Amino acid sequence: MSMQFKAEVFQNQFLPQGAREVHAIMTVSAEGSAATSAPIGTTNGEKLFGIICDVSGSMEGNKIHAAKSAMIQLVNLLPENVFFFVVTGCDRANLTVSLAKATPDNKQRAISAIKGIQAGGTTAISTWLTKALEQFQRMPNALRQALLLTDGQNDKLDERPLNTALLACEGIFQCDCRGVGTDWQVAQLQKIAGKLLGTTDIIPSPAAIEADFRNILDKAMSKSISDVAMRIWTPQGAKILFCKQVSPEIAELSDRGRVVKPQVMEYPTGAWGKAESRDYHFCIEVNAGNVGDEMLAGRASLICTVDGIEDKVAEARILAIWTDDDAKSTKIDRRVAHYTGQAELAQSIQEGLEARARGDIETATVKLGKAVKLAHNSGNEATAKLLRTVVDIEDAPTGTVKLKREVAKEDAMALETRSTKTTRIPKDR
């Protein structure tokens, strides 16, 4: 085994009499060696990378030229032991490059096919994902990841087929989604990426496509473990109120959970790379206890499945102790407080931008003003910088906030797409 996992739980285990909610932050860290053995969760360490690119009519001109150039660069950068394919799509999907190993000859054939791509038609993303799924299913034991690029909104008639396609793709491959320009809808791509355990971001101009593609490929190639899930046991009478990843970005896992057996839920975590660390926030509702009662409120385990055989690679316990000592029960663990604040920050940004879009300036100002303070107090400078593109701050960094009269659409979209990115609690706090 070339990777090891470590899990730690941070919480205030003390509750006042009658309290039922137990909050905990679990930090999971993966540590890898330079070992050359096949990664956990794959067969012979195989990796399959799929490129899914919009070639609808709106991509004509600079966008399609930049996308083709970026795809060619991506193909050239693929390690020879990696498998790949290219799906291009408009209102229908085309398998431009079928599944192949990234040998020099196969790369040249792929590049020739990419050069011949033409833009035209409307947008039906369900067909693209379905075509990609067919390729991923040919290598069920590989580490399977995809990149999807689009520049426009999905056809309204494709909404139901897209939901069906996402259900079929979920758990088969991961997909990072990118929108180039400003004519696409953030919520649409976030829906796809959310279901497929990927990320969503904006590429403001075609000239930036190539650099973004390279970054996604680098991260995909750094992954070396798949088929990993978070499994949470709770005692009789308890239930999980929510489970979400809170670092490096917020990702709601609650609606992805599946029942393994009574009182045991499992949540997919996606692929992992060496030297990677993530934080998860659990909230468990238990039966209320009396002063002096103690209980194991939950047990969180990281489970890796290889060829149908499960391996528990990390575990942490979540405790509850009821007390009448107010000093103990009212103390909030600083990590729980920090990530609760980060979730509140993301929500304030979303609500503020929604209010701004419908012309409710008063609500937008209040919500984005609150976001400015939360970003500053938590040390989330990346989000604070994005907020400054949408609001002016008097007596910076947390003074009176006023909405800017003119805001570039790409700035507002960048704030919306990146509002879920979090910062870890500073070690010296």
Domain membership flag for residue 10: yes
Domain membership flag for residue 108: yes
Residue 309: what pLDDT?
83
Given a contact cutoff of 8 angstroms between Cβ atoms, the answer to whether 25 and 278 are in contact is: no
Domain with 394, as residue range(s), is 335-418
pTM for this entry: 0.91
- One domain, residues 75 and 172: yes
For 110-152, the pLDDT digits (tens) are: 999 999 999 999 999 999 999 999 999 999 989 999 999 999 9
- One domain, residues 193 and 305: no
- One domain, residues 72 and 103: yes
Letter for the amino acid at 279? D
CATH assignment at residue 18: 2.60.40.3670
C-alpha to C-alpha distance for 374 and 174, rounded to whole angstroms? 31
Domain membership flag for residue 427: no
For 256-285, the pLDDT digits (tens) are: 999 999 999 999 999 998 889 999 999 999
Letter for the amino acid at 42? T
Q: How confident is the model at residue 27 (pLDDT cuts 50, 70, 90)?
A: very high
- One domain, residues 340 and 395: yes
Express as a percent the part of the chain with pLDDT over 70: 95
Domain membership flag for residue 330: no
- One domain, residues 296 and 368: no
pLDDT above 70 (res 289): yes
Between 363 and 226, the more confident residue is: 363
Q: Which of 197, 183, 178 is nearest to 67 (CA)?
A: 178
Residue 226: what pLDDT?
84
- One domain, residues 114 and 261: no
Q: Helix, strand, coil % (nearest 5) of the chain?
A: 35, 35, 30
- One domain, residues 106 and 220: yes
Residue after which a domain boundary falls, among 322, 347, 366:
322
For 362-421, the pLDDT digits (tens) are: 999 999 999 999 999 999 999 999 999 999 998 777 778 999 999 999 999 999 999 999
- One domain, residues 101 and 145: yes
State the DSSP string of 324-364: S-HHHHTPPPHHHHHHHHHHHHHHHHHHHHHHHHTT-HHHH
Given a contact cutoff of 8 angstroms between Cβ atoms, the answer to whether 397 and 372 are in contact is: yes
| Interval 51-63 mean pLDDT | 96
CATH assignment at residue 377: 1.20.120.1690
Domain membership flag for residue 425: no
- One domain, residues 160 and 295: no
Residue 35: what pLDDT?
40
C-alpha to C-alpha distance for 316 and 337, rounded to whole angstroms? 20
pLDDT above 70 (res 426): no
C-alpha to C-alpha distance for 301 and 233, rounded to whole angstroms? 8
Phi, psi of 121 (to 5 degrees): 100, -175
Residue 44: what pLDDT?
56
Domain membership flag for residue 35: no
- One domain, residues 214 and 231: no
In the chain, how many domains are there? 3
Q: Which of 236, 270, 395, 336 is nearest to 10 (CA)?
A: 336
Residue after which a domain boundary falls, among 292, 322, 352:
322
For 76-111, the pLDDT digits (tens) are: 999 999 999 999 999 999 999 999 999 999 999 999
- One domain, residues 158 and 275: no
Residue 429: what pLDDT?
46
Residue 412: what pLDDT?
96
Given a contact cutoff of 8 angstroms between Cβ atoms, the answer to whether 310 and 303 are in contact is: yes
Q: Name the token pair of 20.
A: 């039922």
Residue 397: what pLDDT?
73
pLDDT above 70 (res 246): yes
Q: Which of 53, 72, 18 is nearest to 177 (CA)?
A: 53
How buried is residue 197: exposed, middle or buried, by Cβ count under 10 Å (0-12/13-18/19+)?
buried
Q: Which of 295, 297, 296 is nearest to 239 (CA)?
A: 297
- One domain, residues 308 and 341: no
Residue 260 has a CB neighbour count (10 Å cut-off) of 14
Residue 43: what pLDDT?
44
pLDDT above 80 (res 329): yes
pLDDT above 70 (res 18): yes
E strand spans, 156-293: 174-180, 200-203, 223-225, 228-233, 239-247, 251-252, 258-261, 264-268, 272-273, 276-285
Q: Name the token pair of 201.
A: 């971001």
Integer CA distances (angstroms), 81 to 3, 46, 141, in order? 20, 8, 15
C-alpha to C-alpha distance for 296 and 315, rounded to whole angstroms? 13
CATH assignment at residue 191: 3.40.50.410
Strands lying side by side in the sheet with 3-10: 3-10, 21-32, 276-285, 239-247, 251-252
Between 36 and 269, the more confident residue is: 269
Helix and strand numbers (H, E) in the chain are 11, 21
pLDDT above 70 (res 358): yes
Q: Name the token pair of 260.
A: 């393994």
C-alpha to C-alpha distance for 247 and 423, rounded to whole angstroms? 7
Domain membership flag for residue 283: yes
Mean pLDDT taken over the chain: 93
Domain membership flag for residue 38: no
Between 179 and 396, the more confident residue is: 179
